[in-house]
Amino acid sequence: MGLKIGRKVEKVNGKELSYADFVEQYLARNQPVILTGLMDDWRACKDWVSDTGKPNLRFFSAHFGDSTVQVADCGTKDFTDQKRLEMSVSEFIDIWEKTSSSVNGGDDGKSLYLKDWHFVKEYPDYVAYTTPVFFLDDWLNLYLDKYSMHGDPESYQARNEISCSDYRFVYMGSKGTWTPLHADVFRSYSWSANVCGRKQWYFLTPSQHHLVFDRYMKSSVYDIFEDVCESKYPGFEKEDTISINHNWFNAYNISWVWDLLLREYHEAKGYIEDIKDICDDFEGLCQKNLAANAGMDFRDFFICMIRFALANLVLFYQLSTNKRNIEWSSSQLARLLLLNLKNIKCVTVKMESESAWQNRGIATVNLMETIEDQSFIEFCNALGRTYGVTCNHSEINFNPTRFFLEHEGINLYDLFGTRICKPDELVSFLDNALKLVGIEGR
């Protein structure tokens, strides 16, 4: 049975769509959508685009030319991806400009595509754009703004740390550049904004993803279409393009992240099973390989979940303190925080059954130290600002002296302990913490 072509992707005026409707119609259902009208005030749309509507390449050379970036050679396959080259932005622009009229594409016939440029991380004061409200509940980048993904930086090379510093990217390419068929990092959500030019996208529904793999479900198709089909897409003209792209996850898809890590872990483990008997720390090697392949290991993910659980509890407890009427728990913000905590718990319950947790003490988080840590305070406040916008709620600022040490006369640390080391401890902590505000079994 071949691929079935589904319905067209909806196009919606973003200025007329509420956040609640976006969540209900698209986010929770994992449905793609095209949103218009959200980029009118972006600095990138002014500085990065020439009067003719094409990329303002000289602006990039003049202001960001010294940045070192990864560039894909679209004509050369390297395993399951395209061959990557490293060069400065100025060098990339020079090649683009010198060969823009060439029939063969880039330098020596190469078609070059600048990818995964961590522009926001490198130029935080430039403010090229404002993330639309629909994509603000971005656990991945909120977390990485305050923490390193890897809990043990000495175990990872500097290049890996840079590649995991955030997941906000700028892409630039001349007409005809492309990306092979792929699933996004962490199986996350992704949003992409065309600053100028045009892109053609092909989406595969989850129910049909198996059709593009080999019989062993290991290797997928590299290029599903060698070129744009003129008969199917009449009038489509390739254009030079600049886009801004974010990968992100939150409560609605956090389970996918764990499912991916688990699959990648067992695959990494299988590859080196033959050296298990002679390896001093076989499990540690499996986790290191997992982090290299997937971007994080079990420990990284678990610590991330602990911090998000604590941050959501912070906001939830302070909301319950500030709202002294019986309706506070049914507010939009309270319902969102409960959803977050529920889904974190569901993922953590799935972690409990994995034998790797029983073989080693993977993580230890001191609750007292975490609550009082300045990075965590800033993390909580950033999350509070985000939900203040998405839920139309007044901003909640975290004051560590008022939170958690005592809640209505009860010392939470005495009840639940000061450390979380394993998934079952986080599950118990969440259950007991929510009981104190009368939330059970939700």
- Give the structural domain span for 431: 253-437
User: CA 290 to CA 263: how far, in whole Å?
Assistant: 10
In this predicted structure, what is the pLDDT of residue 106? 47
In a domain, 4, yes or no: no
Taking 60 as the threshold, does the pLDDT of residue 404 lie above it?
A: no
In a domain, 26, yes or no: yes
Q: Rounded to 5 degrees, what are φ and ψ at 148?
A: -80, 145
In this predicted structure, what is the pLDDT of residue 159? 47
Taking 80 as the threshold, does the pLDDT of residue 315 lie above it?
A: yes
Binned at pLDDT 50, 70 and 90, residue 143 comes out as very high
- Asked whether residue 218 falls in the same domain as residue 304, the answer is no
Answer whether 83's CB lies under 8 Å from 73's CB: yes
Taking 70 as the threshold, does the pLDDT of residue 163 lie above it?
A: no
Binned at pLDDT 50, 70 and 90, residue 183 comes out as confident
Encoded tokens for 258: 């764990």
User: CA 284 to CA 297: how far, in whole Å?
Assistant: 10
Taking 90 as the threshold, does the pLDDT of residue 190 lie above it?
A: yes
In a domain, 343, yes or no: yes
The residue from 231, 248, 265 where one domain ends is 248
In this predicted structure, what is the pLDDT of residue 225? 57
User: CA 327 to CA 346: how far, in whole Å?
Assistant: 26
Encoded tokens for 412: 């939470």
- CATH number reported for the structural domain that contains residue 190 in this entry: 2.60.120.650
- Asked whether residue 319 falls in the same domain as residue 417, the answer is yes
User: Among 18-22, 177-181, 411-415, which is the least confidently predicted range?
Assistant: 411-415
User: Among 41-50, 289-298, 367-376, 389-398, which is the least confidently predicted range?
Assistant: 389-398
The CA-CA-CA angle for residues 60, 64, 69, to 5°, reads 100
Q: For 29-50, how does the pLDDT look when each residue is reduced to its tens digit (9 = 90+)?
A: 999 999 999 999 999 999 999 9
Side-chain half-sphere of 199: how many Cα atoms within 13 Å? 21
Domain count, the chain: 2
212 alpha-carbon distance from chain centroid: 24
pTM for the complete prediction?
Answer: 0.88
User: CA 245 to CA 167: how far, in whole Å?
Assistant: 8
Taking 60 as the threshold, does the pLDDT of residue 363 lie above it?
A: yes
* Residue 223 bridge partners (DSSP): none
Q: For 80-126, how does the pLDDT look when each residue is reduced to its tens digit (9 = 90+)?
A: 788 999 999 999 999 999 877 665 544 455 789 999 999 999 999 99
**Residue with the larger pLDDT of the pair 18 and 180:** 18
- Asked whether residue 224 falls in the same domain as residue 271, the answer is no
Mean pLDDT of the chain: 84
Q: Return all residues near 89 (Cβ < 8 A) that are at least 6 apart.
A: 60, 61, 64, 65, 66, 67, 69, 114
In this predicted structure, what is the pLDDT of residue 254? 97
Cross-sheet strand order for the sheet of 189-196: 81-88, 68-78, 112-117, 168-173, 241-248, 189-196
Residue 5's Cβ-count burial label (10 Å; 0-12, 13-18, 19+) is exposed
- Asked whether residue 242 falls in the same domain as residue 257, the answer is no
